[in-house]
Amino acid sequence: MTGQLAWVTGASTGIGRALALGLAARGWRVAASARPSAALDALAPEGTDIAAYPLDVRDAAANAATVAAIEATGPIALAILNAGTYRPSWAAGFDVATMRDMVETNLMGTVNGLIPVMERMMARRSGHIVLVASVAGWRGLPGGGAYGATKAALINLAESLKPDLERHGIALTVVAPGFVRTPLTAGNDFPMPFLIEADEAARIILDRLPGRPFSLALPWRMALAMGLLRLLPAPLLFGLTRRMLR
């Protein structure tokens, strides 16, 4: 894949940053997008071939313009739509602003980038799209209602689009990370089992993407634990999740 072009959103910190650097190290040309920041500006000189494209993913028109600007340098072969945010949401204090922020960034922010990329890839009948969701989208967990709802929506969206995109020669992968050490998880005040570093998460993802899997969950122990939780009937599920309440 040396020399091909990849677009990564949410590339200034965390998994996105590690993915951008990892792709560049593997010979990709990388277009890195995030909100304007010193971290995004500093990213480009670190990589072997990374160009910064400042972007607020919540702006649909800006996403379309950014994709057009990137594709002026060549076709996007791989789009990793990773931008997202997290805020805890408990029943007490649950508010519209928190839910809207999660939806606009995690869900619509992904959709805003997906549409222009998908249209161009469909026209040339090639490409690989990656949506970064979370194992939090597999089952509802206390405190994660707003965040988990957006990630569950991304998983459902990917399942719906995959057969149709295959007809157009496009691969679709949905990545579901567990706990990864990032600036977002640094604020968590609860135990984070099987926590891994962002560089390790990026390595796992990039090692497996060439096989074009539909579902890519990591790390495997967290994926196994959440997979088992996914299979539990409601009484057993709530018996466990009640213990997570503070």
- Distance CA(163)–CA(243), nearest Å, equals 39
Let me know if 86 is a catalytic residue: no
**Residue in 147, 153, 173, 209 annotated catalytic:** 147
Long-range contacts made by residues 184-190, C-beta under 8 angstroms, separation at least 24? Answer: 184/14, 184/85, 184/86, 185/86, 190/143, 190/244
Q: How many residues does the chain have?
A: 246
Cα–chain center distance at 12: 13
The SS3 assignment for 175 reads strand
The SS3 assignment for 17 reads helix
**Integer CA distances (angstroms), 230 to 94, 159, 241, in order:** 25, 17, 12
Read off the tokens for 152.
């569950």
> Are 30 and 9 in contact, with CB atoms under 8 Å apart?
no
The set of catalytic residues is 147
